[in-house]
Amino acid sequence: MLNLYHPLWLDRFFMLVTNFGDGLFSLMVIIVLLLWRKRKKAVILLVAFLSSGLIAQIMKRTFQMPRPSAFFEQTGFDYPYFVNDINLHGSNSFPSGHTTSAFALATVMVLVFKKKRISLYCLCFAVLTGYSRIYLAQHFLQDVIVGALIGTCCALLSYQWIYKSKVFKENRLPSYRYRAASAFQHLSSQD
């Protein structure tokens, strides 16, 4: 029911959008954050990405649920909406790893940048990535929902853990002028 409308332009659109849930996209964002000297933000995203990915992979291997193509083949259901040029996988459907990564990335971006106007874009990006997995017949709805929950929870936990971590507390030395003024006061008080 979620997949009845399949024009060619939408096929191409979701073939592009699904790549935002690929782990390489999250790693590229981490590298960009590091280049912008946003080390703490990059570490939060890295921890969220790695932890959510690990949980998703453990669950995939534990449950070993068939993907839509294998499920429809086993049940004899004639599914007419497979998209050409998509490599269909047969197993490890639950949960969706792409959705997990997309929601981890989107949640971290909302938390670390704290700008309301980007929050809606991040949510749309994550939801579209999750839906792309259903549209392209790579996952079922429950795979996407659980992937979204895992990504969001891991991002929230990573943010809380790293944000409160003492490793990233401001330990900067006072500025040169402040140190010079302090030294001068110290010398004057000794006279």
Distance CA 7, CA 41 (A): 39
Whole-number pLDDT of residue 179: 54
pTM of the model: 0.84
Whole-number pLDDT of residue 76: 87
| Cα distance between the two ends of the chain | 86
Whole-number pLDDT of residue 6: 84
Positions of the chain with pLDDT lower than 50, given as ranges: 171-176, 184
- Other C-beta atoms within 10 Å of 68: how many? 24
Whole-number pLDDT of residue 173: 46
Residue with the two structure tokens 């392209």: 136
Whole-number pLDDT of residue 116: 82
CB 68 within 8 A of CB 33: no
Q: To the nearest 5 percent, what fractions of the chain are helix, strand and coil?
A: 70, 0, 30
Tokens of 95: 């949960």
Cβ partners under 8 Å of residue 152, min gap 6 = 103, 104, 107
Distance CA 56, CA 106 (A): 17
